[in-house]
Structure 1
Amino acid sequence: MKCPPRLKILLYIDICIILSLLTYKSYLFLFETDFHSINLKGIESVKKAAKGGKGLSFVVIGNIKNSIAVFDKKLVPLINHDKPDMLISLGNAVLDGAEDKYRILYRSLKKLKSPAILCIGDNEIADKGALRFYDHFGPFYFSFGVKNSYFIFLDTTGETSESWQRTWLLKELEASQQYKYRFVFMNRPPYQVDGASIMNLKPEFIKSSSYRRFLMQTFSKFHVSAVFSSTVEIFDKKNIEGVPYYITGGGGGMLSISDENSFYHYLKVYVNHDGVSFQLMKQPDIPRYRFIAFAESLWVYIHSLFYVSIVNFILVLTFLALIGALIYIKATKEVDYYRDFGAKKKKIPDDLKLTIAMFTNTYYPFVGGVSVSIKRLADSLRQLGHKVYIFAPRYREESPEDDQCTIRCRRLAYYKNYAITNIFSPAIEKKFMSLHIDIVHVHHPFWMGTRGLKLAKKYNIPVILTYHTRLEKYAHNIPLVGRLFENAAPHYLIRRFALKCDAIAAPTFTAKEYLRNIGVGKIIAIIPSGIEFKTYKDVTPDDLNALSQKYKSNDEIVLLSVSRLTKEKNLYFLLEGIKYIKEHSDIPFRCIIAGDGPEKSNLLQFIENNALAQHVTLASSLTQDKLSQYYLFSDIFIFASQSETQGMVLLEAMAGRCPVIAVRSSGIEDVIHNGINGFKTVPDISIWSKKIISLMHNPQLLHKMSENAFSFSQKFSEESIAAKVAKLYIKVLRRLKHNDCQK
């Protein structure tokens, strides 16, 4: 049955809409200016401009909520006309913590002629936005002094420990005594507010009564000049025990019609040697008739919401239409699932030498588990007499790993250090055809994997997929529609792709179990990545002595972790664990984290902020030869990632006689045998850290587990793994050639 012409036309129109929107979104993500540490830059700008003898003025505003009609179009011009030294946002400057909302806010802030400094609020941390706030603006709580004024910003979202912040606040207020004026800024006020937004059912004040009392008593004790907060969409002023409290929440979003103090506004503050003055700046264009005010504020809210999200909304709508059309075409397609009983059988020997094409989205010089696994497998297969060609992205720099069998494919662009290949280039197929390929082995279920799959189907060549990666853990790396891949979408994508392949190589039994659970009924062989034992044998005592001189100041226990420095590797959990060990153990230790990636600068900042520099070293990316030295040099391997399908570095560490302590996940379960070659724990910092401490305190157990780890690793040599893969290739070829349905 052919696809109806009208449906084809609809399909083409739908695809054009999607491509147009994706092009627009790609432009924003790839070419729009990125921004980091806005608060720090704003503070430096204010200090630099405040060297004269005049006073200091600043604007305080709350609840901007990505408002275009109010903040961007009306309040920003008024603020620019006032020429304050800085603008201070009291939180909820975004609708939620998604990246789109932060970028829309940044565009509005760029229109200001004064630097902006933002306090964190509940909306900023929503939708996993806390790390985005930290990246784009800076720490959740901080302080600075300008002229005769000291500014303190508190975190009332719960992201920062209350007890820690109490201690910090007291120290800050003690240190601020040299300043004449002290101002405190927070999102939630320390007292209950009568007015409340009809759009917000959460408590608008700090929930802990003891913390509220502590704050107000502390502010009174240190004679704070003013306390500013927002949360509620009203203006309110109170004087409690000699301290003026201001709530200014009219920077955007929807107003409350039940409160006459709910209107769009900001607060202008002027400070000089004579005192502090506060001036309420109302937005004059908002009518005071309640029904009209409600209607207009509702429109502003909806308009702001759709200004931020309309492209995503249309994308989802068109994707759904596309999926519907594709389902219809699929359902009406004529297929025949019966065997061809007329096919002639051919004898395929066990030792047949094959020509193999591997397709991958990442390869050297990009260092990662997939790159290492492919290189080892390809080299070992070649030693068995097979020809292996690797179709990989072309990077800016050349790789020493390249040879005539590495086919570099032209790239389209870079995104977060990933080279995106032009899979539509005809040069890929031209080269593929010239090689007379017997087996296609793809290492990703999309992009280059899809290109390899289509070429294999076109030329009737069997396809093997290695399931390397838990895609849902990498959703934040996907541009434009990353949030769609955090739940069911990646499982559907993997299932759909795997069902088109002839067999799947899963690194562990848990990975095979997962593939069966999502409905993959193809051949699934458990084949982990191999270990290159030769690099361990080449390590000399001088190599280990050099590392000892570099990292050990005494008889420290050396903890090692190896991974890409990215969010999905759960490295902040690991560092919190190191902090716990530091605070709960007196045994000297050093933690080395080997790897590189986009999160490196944030990790260094975290290490500095938490006084971990004496215990943690980032060793950057290392060659495999160097890594083997580090494995043999270290005492315990620690790992916190939950995004692995195998955790190849765990086996490498065991080959270097390191027992492993890791957080339980799919890639960990089959590798670590609790109490034998390591420990696997629930994702709880104290439990995980206590296992490390217990092993540090028990040298006999540490030695025993080290030997067990080494023994366990011996069955994973790259030669034996390559032989298993070659056996799978032959099995698939026989199945395809002879229509043999047995697994």
Structure 2
Amino acid sequence: MERLRVAVFSDSAFPILNGVSVSVDALVREMRNRGHSVHLYSPRFPGHQDSDPNTYRFRSVVLPFWPGYPLAIPPYYRQLQKFRRREYDVIHTHTPFILGMVGLRWAESEEIPIVGTYHTLYDRYAHYIKFSPRRYMRYRIAKHTSFYFNRVDRVITPTEASLRWLRRHSVETATDVIPTASPRPPILERAENRYALNIPPEARVLLYVGRLAEEKNLETLLDAAALAFKVDPALRLHLVGDGPHREALVSRVRRLGIGDRVRFVGFVSREEVDRHYATADLFFFASISETQGLAVQEAMLHGLPAVAVAGGGVNESIEDGVDGYLVHNDPRELASAALQVLHDDASHARMSEAASRNARAYGIPEMAERVEKTYRMAIEARMGREQRVSLR
């Protein structure tokens, strides 16, 4: 097959650590492994030096209501000059916002096919925009998202749940459901890493990995942990990640009187995240704003059963009763399901094996192969339209 030259645009890229940046990094690496030339366009991150010469950074600012997430700012013409020299075959955007709009504008001006990935239920993040009513902002974000994905040549989205959102909001562009795959984790020795992380051998660790943010429904998670702690004195809850909701969550932990058994680990490196997965006993998740729930998949790659609140794309990551449990958004149900798994060794072992097996059934090579097919369909569709126009 002909080698492709691909321009990837994303508002989130390493060293930012979230589902989008992990997905972008995995895809870029695997597409290069397949022989394609891939260039990443992303905002400059303060103090970060890229080791990849094919990463282009835009000037950026960090706003007080969105700390840790620099936003690209104009002028963009210097990067446009570099962009034009590359003569790309296809553009792939991972955001409908600032750099997604830049990618769309350049695709239109340079007549390059464009694919857009719909990663996130963006309207669920309207509370970060403080100067406007939340309901109005949810409406405006949904309208913009619909506008954007109706302008690209083809759409990728990770789950049937996110596809339903697009169709419900009148996105008519041809769409491919391609789940995001996670990198295979290193093999880590549990006892050794537990000792290094100061986790007692007898402790049972409930693990959450992700942003500490309002949309993650972490109050329900903490309330469930408090109920489970009353039943099992060996239980601990570790929250790996950071975010704007941390202070409110710390206050809630204090009010619940569970501070001795909850650890706010904070933001850690990718390697450290794997160590926390390797030392936990159960993945504990309450977010209902996920299009897929990549952290659930990562946990399962480490053999962790998951207990999660049902909703959105998480439903497609967990096979209820096989590799975990899906429950209603109720702390009592969440706590009961966690205790059910942890207090039955045979059930825990069976679910652990199923989690690892199911998560490994679909990997990054399979994901990249399907994305490449989407690129080629977008290119062929654009060529077909151009030929029809020329024949008129």
Query: What TM-score bracket applies, with the shorter chain setting the length?
Result: over 0.9
1:680-701 deviations in whole A, cap 9, x for unaligned? 1121111121111111221111
Residue of structure 2 in register with 1:320 after alignment? none
What are the within-5 Å matches in structure 2 for residues 20-35 of structure 1? Answer: none
Residue 608 of structure 1: how far off its partner (Å): 2.7
319, 323, 335: which one pairs with 1:677? 323
Residue of structure 2 in register with 1:408 after alignment? 57
**2:290/2:314 contact within 8 Å kept:** yes
**2:193/2:279 contact within 8 Å kept:** no
SS at match of 2:259: coil
**2:62/2:70 contact within 8 Å kept:** yes
1:545-601 deviations in whole A, cap 9, x for unaligned? 132453432412111110011221122221111111112x13511111111222223
Residue of structure 1 in register with 2:36 after alignment? 386
Q: Is 1:377 matched with 2:27?
A: yes
Tell me the amino acid that sits aligned with residue 96 of structure 2.
P
C-alpha distance 426-480 of structure 1, shift in aligned 2 (>3 A): farther
1:451-498 deviations in whole A, cap 9, x for unaligned? 110100111111111111111211112353362555433322211111
What are the within-5 Å matches in structure 2 for residues 128-527 of structure 1? Answer: 351-399=1-49, 402-415=51-64, 416-417=66-67, 418-481=69-132, 483-485=134-136, 487-527=138-178
Rounded Cα–Cα distance in structure 2 between residues aligned with 1:674 and 1:548: 32
C-alpha distance 384-473 of structure 1, shift in aligned 2 (>3 A): same
Higher Cα Rg, which structure? 1
Tell me the amino acid that sits aligned with residue 213 of structure 2.
T
Tell me the amino acid that sits aligned with residue 589 of structure 1.
L
Tell me the amino acid that sits aligned with residue 285 of structure 2.
F
What are the within-5 Å matches in structure 2 for residues 497-576 of structure 1? Answer: 497-533=148-184, 535-537=185-187, 539=188, 541=189, 544-548=191-195, 550-576=197-223
**1:658/1:710 contact within 8 Å kept:** yes
- Segment drifting more, 719-728 vs 646-655: 719-728
**1:365/1:397 contact within 8 Å kept:** no
Rounded Cα–Cα distance in structure 2 between residues aligned with 1:689 and 1:462: 48
1:704-738 deviations in whole A, cap 9, x for unaligned? 11111111101231122111111111111111112
Tell me the amino acid that sits aligned with residue 525 of structure 1.
D
State the TM-score, normalized to the length of structure 1. Answer: 0.50
Residue 362 of structure 1: how far off its partner (Å): 1.9
C-alpha distance 613-509 of structure 1, shift in aligned 2 (>3 A): same
C-alpha distance 546-383 of structure 1, shift in aligned 2 (>3 A): same
286, 293, 306: which one pairs with 1:640? 286
**1:361/1:393 contact within 8 Å kept:** yes
Residue of structure 1 in register with 2:270 after alignment? 624
How many residues are matched? Answer: 385
Rounded Cα–Cα distance in structure 2 between residues aligned with 1:460 and 1:484: 36
Rounded Cα–Cα distance in structure 2 between residues aligned with 1:423 and 1:552: 48
Tell me the amino acid that sits aligned with residue 236 of structure 2.
R
SS at match of 1:619: strand
Tell me the amino acid that sits aligned with residue 374 of structure 1.
V
**2:240/2:268 contact within 8 Å kept:** yes
Residue of structure 2 in register with 1:705 after alignment? 351
C-alpha distance 740-675 of structure 1, shift in aligned 2 (>3 A): farther
Rounded Cα–Cα distance in structure 2 between residues aligned with 1:549 and 1:611: 27
Q: Is 1:604 matched with 2:250?
A: yes
Q: Is 1:577 matched with 2:228?
A: no
Tell me the amino acid that sits aligned with residue 56 of structure 2.
I
Residue 544 of structure 1: how far off its partner (Å): 4.3
SS at match of 1:713: helix
Rounded Cα–Cα distance in structure 1 between residues aligned with 2:369 and 2:198: 39
Rounded Cα–Cα distance in structure 1 between residues aligned with 2:41 and 2:74: 10
C-alpha distance 732-662 of structure 1, shift in aligned 2 (>3 A): same
Tell me the amino acid that sits aligned with residue 55 of structure 2.
T
Rounded Cα–Cα distance in structure 2 between residues aligned with 1:380 and 1:482: 42
Tell me the amino acid that sits aligned with residue 438 of structure 1.
D
Tell me the amino acid that sits aligned with residue 389 of structure 1.
H
**1:423/1:447 contact within 8 Å kept:** no
Rounded Cα–Cα distance in structure 2 between residues aligned with 1:551 and 1:688: 26
**2:193/2:275 contact within 8 Å kept:** no
1:603-630 deviations in whole A, cap 9, x for unaligned? 2233233222222111222322222222
Rounded Cα–Cα distance in structure 2 between residues aligned with 1:427 and 1:381: 26
1:519-538 deviations in whole A, cap 9, x for unaligned? 222221111222111x323x
Residue of structure 1 in register with 2:390 after alignment? none
Residue 516 of structure 1: how far off its partner (Å): 1.9
Tell me the amino acid that sits aligned with residue 624 of structure 1.
R
Rounded Cα–Cα distance in structure 1 between residues aligned with 2:278 and 2:242: 21
Rounded Cα–Cα distance in structure 2 between residues aligned with 1:486 and 1:672: 31
Tell me the amino acid that sits aligned with residue 621 of structure 1.
F
Residue of structure 1 in register with 2:339 after alignment? 693
Rounded Cα–Cα distance in structure 2 between residues aligned with 1:485 and 1:466: 24
1:259-302 deviations in whole A, cap 9, x for unaligned? xxxxxxxxxxxxxxxxxxxxxxxxxxxxxxxxxxxxxxxxxxxx
Residue of structure 2 in register with 1:716 after alignment? 362
Residue 661 of structure 1: how far off its partner (Å): 0.9
**1:393/1:409 contact within 8 Å kept:** yes
Residue 740 of structure 1: how far off its partner (Å): 10
- Unaligned 5+ segments in structure 2 are 388-392
C-alpha distance 444-504 of structure 1, shift in aligned 2 (>3 A): same
Q: Which has the higher contact order (CA 8 A, sep 6+)?
A: 2
Rounded Cα–Cα distance in structure 1 between residues aligned with 2:307 and 2:277: 14
Residue 423 of structure 1: how far off its partner (Å): 4.0
SS at match of 2:243: coil
**1:413/1:421 contact within 8 Å kept:** no
**1:551/1:590 contact within 8 Å kept:** no
Rounded Cα–Cα distance in structure 2 between residues aligned with 1:414 and 1:402: 26
Q: Is 1:738 matched with 2:370?
A: no
Rounded Cα–Cα distance in structure 2 between residues aligned with 1:412 and 1:646: 29
**1:411/1:422 contact within 8 Å kept:** yes
C-alpha RMSD of matched pairs (Å): 2.0
**1:442/1:463 contact within 8 Å kept:** yes
Q: Aligned residues: percent identity?
A: 26
Tell me the amino acid that sits aligned with residue 494 of structure 1.
T
SS at match of 2:346: helix
